[in-house]
Structure formats: structure tokens, C-alpha cells
């Protein structure tokens, strides 16, 4: 057991503490280490995806399963396709650009006419079906598409019955062809009917004239001879007129044939054997990909909105402070009920978390090699960030390093150190402050950790800020610091009360604990500003409860190595 502090006063007289923790004149405090970590963005994104891989995989599975079930429950849709060739009537001669434009317009016009309701009604009637088959779902889709840069038109019919869609695809072309021919023939019907009427009249006149000549086969008198000659001349005239009209009729028919478009079926539809929809595997794969992409979008959005401190680069965006280390969450330890379990550095000194605390201790020791760090305050921005656990374990590691360490519970509003070390709350700090003539060492009690002593809070006072800012408090700290190698103070949160700012003016530096799981950048910036307003030196921050998959910072101590396993 080390010599009690109250017996060491004569050998080590109290040493005054410099105002604001400033080093003595002539001594220059080295700058704290500020890591410049510029991690590749792809690595950061890859780590983020790995961290949320369970959510991405889950969304992909949900999307794929939903698409698979929906596809299996959907009615199969079949498609039948036929192809028409349109030979447009043209005037003899070489084709020009205008003819090409006309052909394209004709193809589009025919494609539009093929889907008109009168044509579809005739198709349904010819098939013996209700005309509503194109509306009640029996035929789900009918598309007519001109094939670009060709004279072809493709007709595609989709529906739930393969036989019905095939029948519609094969019946629609002849019905349309007959309709187009009827429309085009109507342009010549009047002229043809007029010529036919004249031909019938001449045919009757020729027949009557031939009958009259037959009756005058052998004329007997000069009068009969004259009459026969007149009939013969009339017959010749009638026959010539008939020939001319018949020639005009044939020419009209030829013009009609040349002016009509020729529409033929070049590829009839065949009964489809497999449905085109639903494509179960394709839908499942696409839905899984969409689900994964949506999950990744949500993950990146949450990451963008996350303003917590996870890494040194996040800290640099908020304030210019040293990065002292990162400590993972202590397993199986409650953040509300304080007990001996908080001291992982005592019960499991070879645990990786204990090594993390030793890393923080080493960084603090090297931060003031020349002047020597004697008295330090630990605080946080908000309550519940783990400052009490952090300073307690830090005190244990310093005691384990052979430093005569005194831990003072300066949180007079919510003291917890007596619970961590399983000691009574009184007598403590408030008792020492209320007895000016007593030596502070009388209230400092040894703990189960060699070289570590604890000054509990004592009875919770009604005016903590006034007690902490008193001259007696400054004198008490001078007494304790004069007989100890290291003094650590557990102070209240900065944003809750002003106690930490008051105590900060009595120490050499302040260390801020940041909860990597909950503390936002705004709170950290406000806490740092509160220290800067009263000219208190912020020595650095300790990131508490950091996870192994934290953004931009990986806790890399090997459990097996520090457990002594090879």
C-alpha cells in the first residue's frame, strides 16, 4: 500500500496550479497530435454497405419474394403476331423522295385504321365472338406497328387464350383488306356503273337491229332494200359505239387496279406455346435489384443525415481538437446503473477495450512531456455520454502505470464514482470544502486498485457552482496535486450546467468525452465554444462507444492478440 496522501504533506508541499493550466514561463507545451485521415470514399462506401448489408439483403429478398408471388398469381398472357406487306400503287416511273414520304404516311394510316372499332367489331363478328372481347380482358392488348424503313406492318395481339389471340391476329388482316378494297373501289364505282348502263343499252339496240335485219333477209322491193341498208348502217354504228365503250370500261378497270394498294399477309400468326408474361425469373431478379437499390438509397440518406462524430475527419469538421483515442462500448454494462463492472481495466486488463484506455493514457502523457501533466478534467457535452466510466478507467490505467493517481468526483449534481468503486458517498469533496482548516488528504480514500485514490463527492449541496468556484476549492486542488502524480476530475456536462467551466479554470486541461452513438456535431461544437469563451484549454476528445464499423474509423485491436492467443 502506498503512503497515505495526508502523511506525505511534509515531504511534498503543495504546488500551486498555474492559472488556466498554462505551463511555467520558459516551457513550451508541445502540440497535441491531430491525425489527418483522408480515407478513400469508395472504402467508406464499401464499409457502409457492409455495415448495412443485412438491411440491403433483406430488402432485396422481400422485393424478390413479392415479385415472385405476384408473378405466380398473375394470369399468363400469350402473344400472337402476323405481318402485312403493303405495296402502294404508284404512277409508272422512278420513285422519288415524295413517294417515300407517302409510303410512310400510308403505313401509319393503315396502322391506325387497323385498330379502329368498326374493323375490330367485324373481326369479332366473323369469329363469332362478342365485340366486347377487346374490352373485357379476353384480348388485353392489340398493337399495330409499322416496321421502320420497310413496307411491313406488324400486328401483335395479346390475351389470356392462345387460340383466341391467334384467331384475331389471322382474321384482322383479311377483314381490313376487304374494307380497304371496298373504300378504294368506291372511287370508280360511279364511272363503271355509267359505262355498264350504256353498254347494256347498246347491247339492246344491237339485238333489236339484228332482229330487224333478220326479218328483211331477202328484200323484195326497192323500199325494203333501202330499209335494210339503213338497219345495216345503224348496226355498224351500234357495234362501233359498243366497242368503244367496252374499251373505255376495260381501261377504267385497269386504272382502278393500278391505283389500288395491294395488301398481303406475308407471315400469318401461329399459336403461341409459352406466355410472354409474367416473366417470373426476370421480375424476381429486377424486384430484388430495385429492393436492394432502395435500401442503399435509404442507407446513404440516413448516413447523410447522421451528424454524429464517428471519426477524426468528422471531428475536424466541428472543431480543432486532438484525437486522443476511441473506446468501444463495454459489453454487458448498463449505461444507467453504475457498478464495479464499469472498471473493465481492473477486471480484464488484457481486454482490447482496456488497451484502448491505455492508448488514451499514452496520448495524454506525451501531450505534455516537458511540463508534465498533473491535473486534468474530464467532461462531456451532454449527460449520459460515458465520461464517468471513461475517467474511472483512465484513472485505473494511470495507477497501473505506477502513477500515484487521485480521482475526484467533481459532479456534485449527479455523482457516480462512489458507486463505480463501491465506496460510501461521504465523506467527500463537499465535506472537505466545508472544513477549511482540514487537510484534503483526510477525505481521500484508497481504492482496491494500487496507487489509485478516490475523493468522492460527499453530500450533494444546494449550491454546487459556488462551492466549485471558491478559493477553498482552488487551495484543495493545490494540496492534492502537490502530493499526487496525477489528478483526474469527473465534471458535469458542459451544456447542462456551468460547473465544468468553473473547474476548467483550475486545471491544466480539459478532455471531452463524445458518445459516438448519440452525440451530434452541433452539441460538440457548442460544448467546445463554451470552453473557448472562458479561455480553457481543450486538450482533446475521446470517442466513446465506437463500433467496429464506424464510418471512416475502424477499431482495429485484435481480440485474440490481446487475449494472449496466437
For every residue of 338-405, DSSP letters joined together read: --GGG-HHHH-TTSHHHHHHHHHHHHHHHHTTTT---EEEEEESSTTSSHHHHHHHHHHHHHHTT--E
Neighbouring C-beta atoms of residue 242, cutoff 10 Å: 17
Same domain, 122 and 186: yes
> Is 47 inside any structural domain?
no
Q: What is the CATH number of the domain that holds 340?
A: 3.40.50.300
Any domain includes 303: no
Please give the C-alpha separations between residue 235 and each of 198, 205, 215, 222, in angstroms, as whole numbers. Answer: 16, 8, 14, 20
Q: Predicted confidence band at 17 (pLDDT cuts at 50, 70, 90)?
A: very low
Q: Region 9-35: what's the mean pLDDT? A: 38
pLDDT at 160 over 70: yes
Residue 260: what are its φ and ψ, rounded to 5°?
-95, 140
Determine, yes or no, domain membership for 70: no
Encode pLDDT of 254-312 as tens digits.
776 666 667 889 999 999 989 988 889 999 999 999 999 999 999 989 888 888 887 77
Q: Which of 39-53, 318-332, 374-388 has the highest mean pLDDT?
A: 374-388
pLDDT at 101: 63
Which segment of 133-142, 311-320, 385-394 scores lowest on mean pLDDT?
311-320
Strands 452-455 and 445-446: antiparallel
The mean pLDDT value for 165-180 works out to 90
Give the structural domain span for 112. Answer: 78-267
At residue 560, the pLDDT reads: 35
pLDDT for the residue 260: 66
From CA 121, how far away is CA 59, in angstroms rounded? 47
- Within 10 A of 195 (CB to CB), how many other CB atoms are there? 18
**Could you tell me if 216 and 227 are in contact, meaning their C-beta atoms sit under 8 angstroms apart?**
yes
Per the domain annotation, does 502 fall within a domain? yes
Looking at residue 2, its pLDDT comes to: 38
- pLDDT above 50 (res 26): no
Q: What is the pLDDT of residue 355?
A: 92
Question: Do 424 and 548 belong to one domain?
Answer: yes
Regarding whether 331 and 388 lie in a shared domain, the answer is: yes
Q: Which of 411, 392, 390, 393 is nearest to 513 (CA)?
A: 390
Quick: pLDDT tens for 327-353: 988 887 776 777 888 899 998 888 999
| Total of domains in the chain | 2
Residues 254 and 340 in one domain: no
Over residues 397-415, the mean pLDDT reads: 92
Are 155 and 169 in contact, with CB atoms under 8 Å apart? yes
The model's confidence at residue 209, banded by pLDDT at 50, 70 and 90, is: confident
Task: Check residue 330 and report its DSSP letter.
Answer: P
* Per-residue pLDDT band at 370 (split at 50, 70, 90): low
pLDDT at 207: 87
Average pLDDT of the segment spanning 188-192: 77
**Residue showing cell 395479346:** 158
Give yes or no: residues 460 and 551 share one domain. Answer: yes
Q: Are residues 340 and 240 in the same domain?
A: no
> What pLDDT does 100 receive?
58
337-344: Cβ within 8 A, 24+ apart: 338/388, 338/389, 338/416, 338/419, 338/420, 339/419, 339/420, 339/422, 340/420, 340/421, 340/422, 342/388, 342/389, 342/392, 342/393, 342/420, 343/392, 343/393, 343/396, 343/420, 343/421, 343/449, 344/393
Report how far residue 504's alpha carbon sits from residue 60's, in angstroms, rounded to the nearest whole number: 53
- Written as nine digits, the cell of 262 is 395491294
* Angstrom distances, CA of residue 466 to CA of 414, 443, 471, 498, 558: 16, 20, 10, 10, 47
Higher pLDDT, 547 or 249: 249
Compute the average pLDDT of residues 117-131.
Answer: 88
Beta strands in 439-481 (DSSP E): 445-446, 452-455
pLDDT at 6 exceeding the cut of 90: no
Cell matching residue 239: 357495234
The mean pLDDT value of the chain amounts to 81
The two most distant CA atoms of the chain are separated, in Å, by: 185
* Final residue belonging to a domain, choices 214, 232, 267: 267
Looking at the structure, do residues 256 and 336 belong to the same domain, yes or no?
A: no
Tally of CA atoms within 13 A in the half-sphere of 144 that contains its CB: 20
∠ Cα 468 470 476 (to 5°): 80
Tell me: do 259 and 349 sit in the same domain.
no
65 assigned to some structural domain: no
Cα distance between residue 76 and residue 135, in whole Å: 18
Question: Do 261 and 339 belong to one domain?
Answer: no
Confidence (pTM) = 0.61
Does a structural domain hold residue 9?
Answer: no
pLDDT digits (tens, 9 = 90+) for 490-537: 999 999 898 999 999 999 889 999 988 888 888 888 999 999 899 998
Element (H, E) at 141: strand 139-146
Question: Does residue 33 surpass a pLDDT of 80?
Answer: no
457-484: average pLDDT: 89
pLDDT tens readout for residues 67-77: 999 998 988 99
- Rg, Å, the chain Cα set: 52
Which residue do the cell numbers 413517294 mark?
99
Residue 296 located in a structural domain: no
Q: What is the pLDDT of residue 310?
A: 76
193 inside domain: yes
Do 458 and 400 fall into the same domain? yes
- Residue closest to 545 by CA, chosen among 328, 310, 330, 324: 328
pLDDT at 98: 60
Domain end position, chosen among 248, 267, 286: 267
Task: Write down the pLDDT at residue 358.
Answer: 92
Tell me the pairing of strands 323-328 and 452-455. unpaired
Do the Cβ atoms of 553 and 326 come closer than 8 Å? Answer: yes
Is residue 205 within 8 A of residue 245, CB to CB? The reply is no
**CB–CB of 146/152 below 8 Å?**
yes
**Which of 203, 235, 267 corresponds to the end of one domain?**
267
Q: Return the closest-CA partner of residue 206 out of 247, 249, 242, 246.
A: 242
93, 160: one domain:
yes
Burial tier of 310 (Cβ tally within 10 Å: 0-12, 13-18, 19+): buried
326 and 254, same structural domain? no
Could you tell me the pLDDT band of residue 396, with boundaries at 50, 70 and 90? very high
Amino acid at each position: 500500500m502506498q503512503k497515505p496522501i495526508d502523511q506525505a504533506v511534509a515531504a511534498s508541499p503543495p504546488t500551486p496550479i498555474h492559472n488556466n493550466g498554462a505551463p511555467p514561463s520558459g516551457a513550451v507545451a508541445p502540440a497535441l497530435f491531430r491525425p489527418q485521415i483522408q480515407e478513400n470514399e469508395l472504402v467508406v462506401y464499401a464499409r457502409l454497405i457492409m455495415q448495412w448489408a443485412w438491411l440491403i439483403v433483406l430488402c432485396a429478398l422481400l422485393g424478390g419474394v413479392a415479385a415472385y408471388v405476384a408473378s405466380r398469381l398473375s394470369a399468363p398472357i400469350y402473344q400472337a403476331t402476323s405481318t402485312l406487306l403493303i405495296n402502294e400503287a404508284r404512277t409508272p416511273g422512278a420513285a422519288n423522295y415524295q413517294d417515300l414520304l407517302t409510303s410512310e404516311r400510308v403505313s401509319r394510316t393503315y396502322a391506325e385504321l387497323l385498330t379502329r372499332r368498326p374493323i375490330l367489331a367485324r373481326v369479332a363478328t366473323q369469329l363469332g365472338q362478342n365485340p366486347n372481347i377487346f374490352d373485357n380482358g379476353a384480348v388485353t392488348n392489340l398493337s399495330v406497328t409499322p416496321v421502320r424503313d420497310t413496307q411491313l406492318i406488324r400486328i401483335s395481339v395479346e390475351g389470356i387464350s392462345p387460340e383466341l389471340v391467334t384467331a384475331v391476329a389471322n382474321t384482322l388482316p383479311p377483314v381490313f383488306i376487304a374494307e380497304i378494297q371496298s373504300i378504294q373501289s368506291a372511287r370508280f364505282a360511279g364511272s363503271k356503273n355509267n359505262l355498264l348502263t350504256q353498254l347494256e343499252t347498246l347491247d339492246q339496240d344491237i339485238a333489236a337491229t339484228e332482229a330487224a335485219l333478220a326479218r328483211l333477209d331477202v328484200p323484195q322491193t326497192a323500199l325494203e332494200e333501202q330499209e335494210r341498208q339503213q338497219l345495216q348502217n345503224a348496226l355498224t354504228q351500234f357495234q362501233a359505239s359498243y366497242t368503244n365503250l367496252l374499251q373505255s370500261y376495260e381501261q377504267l378497270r385497269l386504272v382502278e387496279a393500278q391505283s389500288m394498294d395491294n395488301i398481303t399477309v406475308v407471315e400469318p400468326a401461329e399459336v403461341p406455346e409459352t406466355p410472354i408474361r409474367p416473366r417470373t425469373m426476370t421480375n424476381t431478379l429486377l424486384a430484388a435489384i430495385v429492393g436492394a437499390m432502395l435500401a442503399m438509397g435509404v442507407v446513404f440518406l440516413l448516413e447523410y443525415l447522421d451528424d454524429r462524430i464517428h471519426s477524426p475527419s468528422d471531428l475536424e469538421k466541428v472543431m480543432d481538437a486532438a484525437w486522443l483515442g476511441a473506446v468501444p462500448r463495454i459489453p454487458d454494462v448498463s449505461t444507467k446503473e453504475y457498478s464495479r463492472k464499469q472498471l473493465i481495466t481492473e477486471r480484464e486488463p488484457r481486454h482490447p477495450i482496456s488497451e484502448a484506455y491505455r492508448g488514451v493514457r499514452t496520448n495524454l502523457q506525451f501531450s505534455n512531456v516537458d511540463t508534465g501533466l498533473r491535473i486534468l478534467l474530464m467532461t462531456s457535452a451532454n449527460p449520459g455520454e460515458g465520461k464517468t466510466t471513461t475517467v474511472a478507467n483512465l484513472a485505473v490505467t494511470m495507477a497501473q502505470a505506477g502513477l500515484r493517481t487521485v480521482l475526484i468526483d467533481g459532479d456534485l449534481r449527479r455523482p457516480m464514482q462512489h458507486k463505480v468503486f463501491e465506496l460510501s458517498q461521504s465523506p467527500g469533496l463537499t465535506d472537505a470544502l466545508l472544513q477549511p482548516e482540514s487537510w484534503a488528504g483526510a477525505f481521500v480514500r484508497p481504492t482496491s486498485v494500487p496507487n489509485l485514490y478516490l475523493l468522492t463527492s460527499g453530500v450533494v449541496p444546494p449550491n454546487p457552482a459556488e462551492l466549485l468556484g471558491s478559493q477553498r476549492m482552488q487551495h484543495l486542488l493545490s494540496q492534492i496535486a502537490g502530493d499526487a502524480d496525477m489528478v483526474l476530475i469527473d465534471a458535469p456536462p458542459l451544456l447542462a450546467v456551468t460547473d465544468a467551466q468553473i473547474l476548467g479554470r483550475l486545471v491544466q486541461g480539459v478532455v471531452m468525452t463524445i458518445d459516438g452513438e448519440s452525440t451530434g456535431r452541433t452539441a460538440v461544437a457548442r460544448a467546445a465554444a463554451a470552453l473557448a469563451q472562458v479561455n480553457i484549454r481543450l486538450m482533446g476528445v475521446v470517442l466513446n462507444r465506437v463500433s467496429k464499423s464506424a464510418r471512416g474509423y475502424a477499431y482495429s485491436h485484435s481480440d485474440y492478440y490481446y487475449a494472449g492467443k496466437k
